[in-house]
Amino acid sequence: MAMIEASGLTKTYRSKSGPVHALTGFDLTVPEGTVKALLGPNGAGKTTVVKMLTTLEVPDSGTAHIAGIDVVADPQSTRRTIGVSGQYAAVDENLTGFENLDMIGRLYHLGAKVSRERARELIDVFDLSAAGDRPVKGFSGGMRRRIDLAGALVTNPRVLFLDEPTTGLDPRSRLALWDIITSLVAGGTTVLLTTQYLEEADRLADDIAVIDGGRVIAEGTADHLKAQVGGHRLVVALVDEARADQALEVLRRHGDAEPTLGSDGRQVEVAVTDGPTALQRTLADLGAAGIELHDAGMRRPTLDDVFLQLTGRKAVDDDDPDTGSVATNKTSKKEARR
């Protein structure tokens, strides 16, 4: 069963410089109990999608359904089905962690007893027992993100929207949050994840959709998308950056695509099909040309390679500037599940 379905979504915003076409025919399907990662460059429309699917924005055209509920026609039922966690922790810093969760439960009319019980349960699940009765203003960044995610789960939502959930976290806190997300999905929760960390998408997502220009331009598993950009990357590190143009020409002869030069002016790489043969011939030609190397070798393609080839840009660390982030609204493995 598809828990998230979007078809033909469009959205245009008005600005002083003219219309901004945030979505231009966006389609998406997310099966129940899976993680779909939404990747795209700055301004691609990721946050606009999340806002529409969580009832914060109304599309100009197209349809969207959450667990079979029409998002536009029945926003109240939609909100009772979803949880949302944005880029920034949306909690009251003067309240304790427990009080924040209890308040959310009461706002959802769960009743005093159920709200307290659910708050204590989530405090334990998110390993916040030692800090749950302290004001949130004393929490670390990782603890704030955990209490924010816990808030998105107070109502036991069937669908969870995570908009850049680990932005700004240290590696340890990020890994801890990944484990929590993996556990949620194992329990049947459906997740739509937007992220700036390609490793995060690779680790968590069952399926990835790449969005650019307000529509999905590629979709599939991480391995499937990587296979589309070539089997291997041939990489050489030059001793003298002045020889970069010559090295590019050599790799152009042996590669399957246009070679690229790294920002340091010394690392040159190209996609190849027959890795060992291409490497041997490339090294021979570079040697014949007198081009010295620090290092040379092969590597498998990454999601960053996919991103660059599909969009012409590298992954960035900000979301859609024209629409802002989903920072509030409390209406929110793969490896572990193998």
Average per-residue pLDDT in the chain?
Answer: 87
Which letter does DSSP use for residue 145 in this model?
H
Which pLDDT value is given to residue 89?
Answer: 66
- Which residues neighbour 11 within 8 Å (Cβ) at sequence distance 6 or greater? 21, 22, 23, 45, 48, 52, 57, 59, 60, 214
> Does the pLDDT value for residue 319 go beyond 90?
no
From residue 31, alpha-carbon distances to 36, 172, 205, 207 in Å are 9, 30, 12, 10
Q: Where are the domains of the chain?
A: 2-225+316-337, 230-300
CA R_g for the chain: 23
Q: Answer whether 27's CB lies under 8 Å from 218's CB.
A: no
> Does the pLDDT value for residue 322 go beyond 60?
no
State the first-to-last Cα distance of the chain, in angstroms, to the nearest integer. 21
Q: Decide if domain 230-300 falls under CATH 3.40.47.10.
A: no
Q: Which helix (H) or strand (E) holds 274?
A: none
What is the pLDDT averaged over residues 186-205? 90
Cα distance between residue 243 and residue 264, in whole Å? 13
- Which CATH architecture best describes the domain 2-225+316-337? 3-Layer(aba) Sandwich (3.40)
Range in 58-72, 99-113, 164-178, 186-200 the model is least confident about: 164-178
